[in-house]
Structure 1
Amino acid sequence: MEYEAAISSSGVLEALRAFDPRVVGTLPLALSVPDSDIDIVCHAFDPVAFAEAIWRQFQACDGFRLYQWTSSGRPVVARFEWSGWPFEVFGDSRLVGQQHGWLHFEIERRLLALDDGRLRKAVLQQRSLGIKTEPAFAAVLGIDGDPYRGLLELASETDIQLRARLNSL
């Protein structure tokens, strides 16, 4: 089953509609590796209601886990399996458009759209070695330091600046 079909048949987007769910990560970017999961970010303006919505819909799923971080806004995270696909649902009190996971996804999507295919090939090569997505982008793009922060800093660059980076690959 394709990941889109798993999302649809799970009903996760419908169950979490009130929380602005958005699919992010390697699957929609076509950068997945065999152990990639389906990542969904949400605006959990009410963490208790968010956790209850996930619990009601997915508690019986294989591998179900639900927890809340103790720092950084205390996001709620759920993990479960549906139709052989691992899901990770992340609910943060910030609007989705302000969450780091969404911002990383957006800059990665922009970079891939501006590229002629060399970036995708190089990032996939890094991913095949077991490197996570953001560190893989950072390695290919020559971003020093924290790869997550480095990608966030790229988000403010214009398409012209990003193309210049890509042309140096």
Structure 2
Amino acid sequence: MAAGKYARKRKMREDFKNIEYLKTGNSKQKEVYRILKDNLILEKLAKYSPILVGTIPIRIDIENSDLDIICFSRNLEKFETDVKANFSKENQFMISIKNINKRKSVVAKFRLENYDFEIFGQNIPTDQQDAFLHMIKENEILKNRDTEFRRSIIELKRSGLKTEPAFAKLLDIKGDPYSGLLNY
């Protein structure tokens, strides 16, 4: 009996590592699923353990929300080469190497089917990267709040706040909203 209860509880949680949940989501999630599949985006990144993160998976996106895909690579030069080979022909393609939180990171941006994409690579497993951890924490908070809280987050985002600062404002988190959210 306990095993069945555990399985049901586990099934109720989204598996953000597998985009199949998008197929039964809202209209934007269904459209994003189609775009990702039709263009083989995740297949092209498969060896880098890609995960779609950000606001669209947890339904707090706004009109101009982009598609953020995080990746893990021990060899960022190879990752950069592969990203260029697969996506450099897309509209507005650009790629750069940055230090983010004292870690070398590859960031590629492009536009495809009316969506801005950002592909982000670090030498950190994707399920340990900040973007994934923030999304999981935000989803957990949203599940424990009412629909008004979700609407308030979306409105704050529409007014120009980034996601983590919007959560920090509503939750009265002081200091850095990014680390504060993870510790909430």
TM-score normalised by the shorter chain: which range applies?
0.7 to 0.9
Counterpart Cα distance in 2 of 1:67 and 1:44:
15
Counterpart Cα distance in 2 of 1:44 and 1:117:
37
Give every structure 1 segment of 4 or more consecutive aligned residues whose post-TM-superposition deviation is greater than 6 Å: none
Larger RCO, structures 1/2 (Cα 8 Å, 6+ apart): 1
Offset, 1:21: 0.2
Offset, 1:81: 1.0
Please name the residue that 1:157 is paired with. Answer: none
Offset, 1:118: 2.7
Q: Which of 5, 15, 23 is residue 44 of structure 2 equivalent to?
A: 15
* Secondary structure of residue in 2 paired with 1:63: strand
Please name the residue that 2:8 is paired with. Answer: none
Please name the residue that 1:166 is paired with. Answer: none
Counterpart Cα distance in 2 of 1:28 and 1:70:
26
Range 111-120 or range 26-35, more displaced: 111-120
Please name the residue that 2:90 is paired with. Answer: 61
CA RMSD of aligned residues (A): 1.3
Counterpart Cα distance in 2 of 1:4 and 1:136:
26
Q: Which amino acid aligns with 2:163?
A: T
Q: Give CA deviations for 1:104-144 in whole Å, capped at 9, x if unaligned.
A: 01100111122222321111121121111010111111111
Counterpart Cα distance in 2 of 1:140 and 1:93:
33
Offset, 1:10: 2.2
Please name the residue that 2:175 is paired with. Answer: 145
Please name the residue that 1:104 is paired with. Answer: 134
Please name the residue that 1:46 is paired with. Answer: 75
Counterpart Cα distance in 2 of 1:46 and 1:65:
19
Length-normalised TM-score, structure 1: 0.86
Offset, 1:83: 1.1
1:81-92 to structure 2, matched below 5 A, reads 81-92=111-122
Mind listing any 5+ residue stretches in structure 1 that lack a counterpart? 155-169
Q: Give CA deviations for 1:3-43 in whole Å, capped at 9, x if unaligned.
A: 22222222110011111000010111111111110001111
Length-normalised TM-score, structure 2: 0.79
Q: Give CA deviations for 1:27-74 in whole Å, capped at 9, x if unaligned.
A: 111111111100011112210121111111110110101111145221
Q: How many residues align?
A: 154
